[in-house]
Amino acid sequence: IQMTQSPSSLSASVGDRVTITCRASQSISNYLNWYQEKPGKAPKLLIYAASNLQSGVPSRFSGSGSGTDFTLTISSLQPEDLATYYCQQTYSTPWTFGQGTKVEIK
């Protein structure tokens, strides 16, 4: 299953609402996860099963969608959100990731 994220990169100001989209090549129900990768660090789980916030993750992060179209929203962008964000499907093996969306701070 191919996962396509858009945009590939974005630049936004602190406090902005940021939305990242992930589209699956076939229906994956809600088997969709989001990860945050900061420079030089391992990826960190943000959202699992499309809309469930992982423990310890700030509430400004939220996820939605089902079937083929999903979104990750950062309600108020913070400087520490500088990172690359990946979606991942675990509906069927081989599990696959999107190509990533790089978020920069203006």
Partner 1 sequence: QMQLQESGPGLVKPSQTLSLTCTVSGGSFSRGGYYWSWIRQHPGKGLEWIGYIAYSGTTYYNPSLKSRGAISIDTSKDQFSLNLSSVTAADTAVYYCARVRATTSAYFDYWGQGTLITVSS
Residues that bind partner 1 (CB under 8 A): 30-31, 33, 35, 41-45, 48-49, 54, 86, 88, 90, 93-100
SS3 80: helix
Q: Are 46 and 52 in contact (CB under 8 A)?
A: no
Kindly state the smallest distance separating residue 72's Cβ from partner 1, in Å: 14
Residue type present at position 66 = S
Nearer to partner 1, 34 or 77 (CB): 34
**Two tokens, residue 103:** 């978020």
* Cβ-based neighbours of 74, under 8 Å, separated by 6 or more: 17, 18, 19, 60, 61, 81, 103
Kindly state the smallest distance separating residue 81's Cβ from partner 1, in Å: 19
Kindly state the smallest distance separating residue 17's Cβ from partner 1, in Å: 25
Residue type present at position 53 = L
Nearer to partner 1, 17 or 38 (CB): 38
Kindly state the smallest distance separating residue 33's Cβ from partner 1, in Å: 5
Nearer to partner 1, 52 or 76 (CB): 52
